């Protein structure tokens, strides 16, 4: 197994989790957005991960990448607020399908996965450094 392959696997994990974190933050920022360019409220988004082969590693070890960003099809929240500029004729407003608690849990899980990848990077870097030091002795 090539050293660059292991670092490649770790790099793909870090990049995928960074992209997922950006989507989570976007969801949280738009929790009250009732009007988008597409029309209607903001629709929650999520990422779909797919395995990716990394050159120089076993076929059983793979990296990860974001395959696509999907919109959550769950219905919008509807609240009665006749004074809101986006209220319909009956006074109801459609709000984004973003649940802040769910996003916070997703953020914590993403942070932990990112942290684990950084730990793997540091551990592997330490192993490579120690191996090189042994070779000099």
Residues comprising the chain, all counted: 137
Question: Could you please report the per-residue DSSP string of the chain?
Answer: --HHHHHHHHHHHHHHHHHHHHHHHHHHHTTT----TTSSS---EEEEEEEE--TTS-TT--EEEEEEEEE--SPPEEEE-TTSTT--TTSEEEE-S--HHHHHHHHHHHHHHHHHHHHHHHHHHHHHHHHHHHHH-
Q: Domains in the chain: how many in total?
A: 1
pLDDT in tens, 29-73: 999 999 999 889 999 999 999 999 988 788 888 999 999 999 999
As a whole number of angstroms, the distance between CA 36 and CA 26 comes to 13
As a whole number of angstroms, the distance between CA 64 and CA 20 comes to 12
pLDDT in tens, 119-130: 999 999 999 899
Q: Is the pLDDT of residue 137 over 80?
A: no
pLDDT in tens, 78-112: 999 999 999 999 999 999 999 999 999 999 999 99
As a whole number of angstroms, the distance between CA 68 and CA 46 comes to 9
- Residue 124 lies in domain: 3-136
């Amino acid at each position: 197994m090539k050293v660059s392959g292991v670092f490649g696997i770790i790099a793909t994990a870090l990049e995928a989790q960074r992209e997922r974190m950006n989507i989570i933050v976007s969801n949280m920022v738009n929790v009250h957005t009732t009007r988008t360019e597409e029309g209607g409220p903001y629709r929650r988004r999520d990422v779909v991960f797919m395995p990716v082969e990394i050159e120089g590693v076993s076929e059983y070890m793979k990296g990860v990448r974001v395959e696509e960003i999907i919109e959550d099809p769950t219905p919008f929240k509807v609240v009665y607020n006749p004074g809101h500029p986006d209220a319909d004729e009956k006074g109801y407003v459609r709000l984004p399908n973003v649940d802040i608690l769910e996003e916070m849990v997703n953020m914590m899980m993403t942070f932990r996965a990112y942290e684990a990848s950084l730990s793997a990077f540091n551990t592997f870097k330490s192993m490579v450094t120690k191996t090189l030091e042994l070779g000099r002795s």
